């Protein structure tokens, strides 16, 4: 992304210092099974947090809980110190954007039309469309490097472009917080990097981001903070260099490996991996 | 013109398509006033419109046919809109009030109240709407209970089962009650003929309510097409959206059934055509359903007057003849359109 020189809306900077998202004593259940119990967590501000862990460890459930999609059975999710479920949903949507995994693209929708949906939280029956809506959309198109493609149909784009369009929709929401559920899971390597670089770019603009990521090296490379989960609990968290050890990899995935620092960036790389019994 | 066909439906200028449809509707209404099963020729009808007709002719054109046309407009409007809303909320291009048992629930409620002693004159629209609501909840409940991924065919099967059951019970009731049978016959096959303008006026307040519901819910409903979680992320509440849509659908279908009986397939054909013209965004589809519903009902009604002269074919029969092939077309299409 070459967009570092972009002017960004002032409000992002104004609000980041105030916004906090976290949970206290959070219990999330699917039916009667507890996925997460008594979990305390908070997202460091202005940073990219990666939530990692094996399948079924509850990382997506946590993200759904934090984004008020999944209501807690006990405990509370706090947005700016207030219970997220007590705040009006629209108000939450002006501070917290969510890009879930199960997005659906209607037939024949263009990129710009998709991004327009991001303005819903800022509109009402009486205020349907305003100048600031168009500005936000132009900003989002620019930030996601989609200006030349805005009238293209979503289903004619590459996977990476499509995912960038969805992220652009959340950018247009103009929230200080953005949560992404496996934003790169269906993408090939090039498109993954495309999306991760956009995420880094947004972080430089002052957004607080959290994402569920499957790929450990990418999590290390593109995040500032890692939350490692297993069986609904946070095993460890901290900067990638601090937390990423061969012991952690073994505990999470039952995989033996060696870690070496990336010669270019210094972030840990996994080599020599083999499966072991836990 | 060629470029129009090359443009994807969702990118066509809505306003132009809408105005063209309005013009077609005006033409249909005009034909509806001129053509009929009776002895009155189109020329004589036209003279009557210009004010040169006998009293009898004036009665036919200005009272019978005008009312009939208005009822047609109303039924097409309500069923088309209701179908579009239901399909959008159920994410299923086959979700149609007639197929899903909403109309059946409505006419069942009407039959039941008639048997219990009400007469067609005292019958309120509310009964039909309440029945529609119950039908709607029943079939959506059954389809949801499966806990399966939303399977379009499953929903239709549940609806077909509910419809047959309700129509069977309705017929059974009528076996035992001859008086009701005479009054109800009309509600078993839909028709826009011989209706009173007063009935039409009596449903208008609830239609206003439905219109407000739709105004409130159209945009959230459009966002629901991006996925349930996306909608939540944008600050909408899917449960509330669904509830409002179901209430609106019940009001609309109940209103239509109270006036014309269960007319099947309109709610399927109209949104299908609207989507083919302007794409699947519900806000665009709804706009186009406004003229398209009346066009299809009035056109079908004109044909139903002409094919079996001097008798008339019931409208419900004709809409089924048009609708069933469209249903097969949708089911057989290689890829179900995603809503």
- List Cβ neighbours of B251 (8 Å cut-off, separation of 6 or more): B129, B132, B206, B207, B209, B210, B213
pLDDT value at A261 more than 80: yes
Q: Which residues numbered 162-221 in B keep a CB inside 8 Å of some CB on A?
A: 215-216, 219-220
CB-CB under 8 Å, A105 with B226: yes
pLDDT value at A2 more than 90: no
Domain ranges of chain B: 13-25+68-189+199-332
- Look up residue A137 and give its DSSP letter: H
Give the pairing type, strands A268-275 and A255-261: antiparallel
Range with the poorest average pLDDT among A80-84, A148-152, B303-307: B303-307
Task: Read off the pLDDT of residues B7-40 as tens digits, 9 standing for 90 and up.
Answer: 888 888 999 999 999 999 999 999 999 987 777 7
| Residue A94 forms contact with B (CB below 8 Å) | yes
CA distance A248 to chain B (A): 32
Where residue B327 falls among pLDDT bands split at 50, 70, 90?
confident
Where residue A3 falls among pLDDT bands split at 50, 70, 90?
very low
A 10 A CB-CB count for A168 gives: 26
Q: What distance in Å separates the CA atoms of residue A191 and residue A163, rounded to the nearest whole number?
A: 9
Q: Which residues on chain B are in Cβ contact (under 8 Å) with A107?
A: 10, 279-280, 337-338
Where residue B56 falls among pLDDT bands split at 50, 70, 90?
confident
The candidate with the shortest Cα–Cα distance to B166, out of B83, B127, B110, B121, is: B110
Of A9 and B75, which is predicted with more confidence? B75
| Residue B38 forms contact with A (CB below 8 Å) | no
Q: Which residues on chain B are in Cβ contact (under 8 Å) with A31?
A: none
Torsion sign across C-alpha atoms A83, A85, A86, A91: positive
Range with the poorest average pLDDT among A72-81, B26-35, B213-222, B322-331: B322-331
Which phi-psi region, left, alpha or beta, contains residue A238 (left: φ > 0; alpha: ψ -120 to 50)? left
All domains of chain A in start order, with CATH: 3-108+174-240 (3.40.50.300), 245-278 (no CATH)
DSSP codes, B299-334: HHHHHHHHTTTTS---HHHHHHHHHHHHHHHHHHSS
| Residue A68 forms contact with B (CB below 8 Å) | yes
pLDDT value at B92 more than 90: no
- Angstrom CA distances, B118 to A140, B121, B122, stand at 61, 8, 6
Torsion sign across C-alpha atoms A33, A35, A41, A46: negative
Task: Read off the pLDDT of residues A15-46 as tens digits, 9 standing for 90 and up.
Answer: 444 458 999 999 999 888 999 999 999 999 99
CA distance A117 to chain B (A): 7
pLDDT value at A92 more than 90: yes
Where residue B160 falls among pLDDT bands split at 50, 70, 90?
confident
Give the pairing type, strands A177-181 and A208-212: parallel
Residue-level pLDDT at B273: 93
Q: What is the mean pLDDT of chain B?
A: 85
CATH for the B13-25+68-189+199-332 domain, from 1.10.3470.10, 2.30.30.40, 1.10.1060.10, 2.60.120.260: 1.10.3470.10
Please compute the mean of the pLDDT values over residues B159-181 and round it to a whole number.
81
How many Cβ pairs within 8 Å bridge chains A and B? 90
Of A180 and B36, which is predicted with more confidence? A180
Comparing CB atoms, the residue among A64, A89, A102 nearest residue B227 is: A102
pLDDT value at A141 more than 70: yes
Side-chain half-sphere CA neighbours of A7 within 13 A: 5
- Look up residue A110 and give its DSSP letter: B
Supply B71's token pair. 């009822």
Q: Which residues on chain B are in Cβ contact (under 8 Å) with A93?
A: 233-235
Above pLDDT 90, what percent of chain B? 35
Task: Read off the pLDDT of residues B125-155 as tens digits, 9 standing for 90 and up.
Answer: 888 899 999 988 888 777 665 444 556 677 7
């Amino acid at each position: 992304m070459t967009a570092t020189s972009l002017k960004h809306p002032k409000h992002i900077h104004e609000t980041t210092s105030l916004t906090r998202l976290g949970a206290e004593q959070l219990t999330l259940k699917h039916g009667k099974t507890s996925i997460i119990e008594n979990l305390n967590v908070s997202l460091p501000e202005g940073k990219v947090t990666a939530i990692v862990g094996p399948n079924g460890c509850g990382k997506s459930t946590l993200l759904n809980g934090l984004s008020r999609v999944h209501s807690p059975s006990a405990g509370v999710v706090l947005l700016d110190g207030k219970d997220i479920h007590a705040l009006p949903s629209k108000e939450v949507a002006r501070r917290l954007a969510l890009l879930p995994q199960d997005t659906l693209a209607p037939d024949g929708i263009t990129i710009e039309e998709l991004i327009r949906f991001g303005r819903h939280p800022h509109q009402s029956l009486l205020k349907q469309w305003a100048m600031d809506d168009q500005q936000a959309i132009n900003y989002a198109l620019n930030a996601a490097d989609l200006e030349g493609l805005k009238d293209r149909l979503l289903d004619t784009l590459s996977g990476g472009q499509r995912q960038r369009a969805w992220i652009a929709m959340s950018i247009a929401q103009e929230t200080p917080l953005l949560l992404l559920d496996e934003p790169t899971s269906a993408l090939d390597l090039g498109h993954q990097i495309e999306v991760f670089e956009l995420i880094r770019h947004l972080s430089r603009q002052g957004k607080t981001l959290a994402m569920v990521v499957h790929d450990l090296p990418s999590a290390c490379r593109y995040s500032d903070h890692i939350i490692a989960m297993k069986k609904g609990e946070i095993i460890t968290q901290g900067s990638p260099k601090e937390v990423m050890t061969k012991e952690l990899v073994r505990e999470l995935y039952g995989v033996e490996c060696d870690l070496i620092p990336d010669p270019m960036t210094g972030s840990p790389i996994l080599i020599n991996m083999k499966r072991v019994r836990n | 013109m060629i470029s129009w066909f090359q443009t994807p439906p969702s990118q066509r200028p809505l306003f132009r398509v809408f105005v063209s449809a309005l013009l077609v509707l005006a033409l249909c209404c005009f034909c509806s006033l001129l053509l009929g099963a009776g002895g009155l020729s189109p020329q004589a009808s036209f003279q009557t419109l210009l004010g040169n007709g006998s009293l009898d002719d004036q009665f036919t054109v200005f009272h019978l046919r005008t009312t009939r046309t208005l009822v047609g407009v109303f039924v097409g409007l309500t069923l088309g809109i209701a179908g579009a809303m239901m399909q959008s909320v159920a994410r299923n291009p086959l979700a149609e009030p007639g197929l899903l048992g909403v109309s059946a629930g409505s006419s069942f409620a009407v039959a039941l109240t008639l048997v219990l002693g009400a007469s067609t004159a005292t019958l309120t629209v509310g009964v039909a709407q309440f029945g529609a609501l119950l039908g709607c909840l029943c079939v959506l409940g059954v389809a949801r209970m499966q806990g399966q991924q939303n399977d379009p065919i499953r929903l239709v099967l549940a609806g077909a089962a509910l419809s047959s059951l309700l129509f069977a019970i309705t017929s059974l009731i009528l076996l035992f009650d001859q008086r009701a049978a005479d009054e109800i016959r009309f509600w078993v096959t839909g028709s826009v003929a011989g209706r009173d303008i007063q009935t039409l006026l009596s449903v208008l307040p609830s239609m206003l309510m439905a219109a407000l519901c739709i105004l409130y819910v159209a945009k959230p409903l459009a966002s629901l097409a991006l996925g349930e979680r996306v909608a939540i992320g944008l600050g909408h509440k899917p449960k509330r959206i669904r509830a409002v849509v179901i209430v609106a659908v019940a009001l609309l279908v109940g209103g239509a059934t109270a006036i014309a009986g269960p007319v099947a397939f309109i709610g399927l054909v109209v949104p299908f055509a609207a989507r083919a013209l302007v794409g699947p965004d519900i806000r665009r589809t709804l706009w186009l359903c406004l003229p398209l519903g009346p066009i299809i009902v009035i056109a079908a009604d004109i044909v139903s007057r002409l094919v079996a002269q001097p008798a008339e074919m019931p409208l419900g029969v004709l809409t089924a003849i048009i609708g069933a092939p469209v249903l097969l077309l949708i089911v057989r299409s290689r890829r179900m359109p995603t809503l």
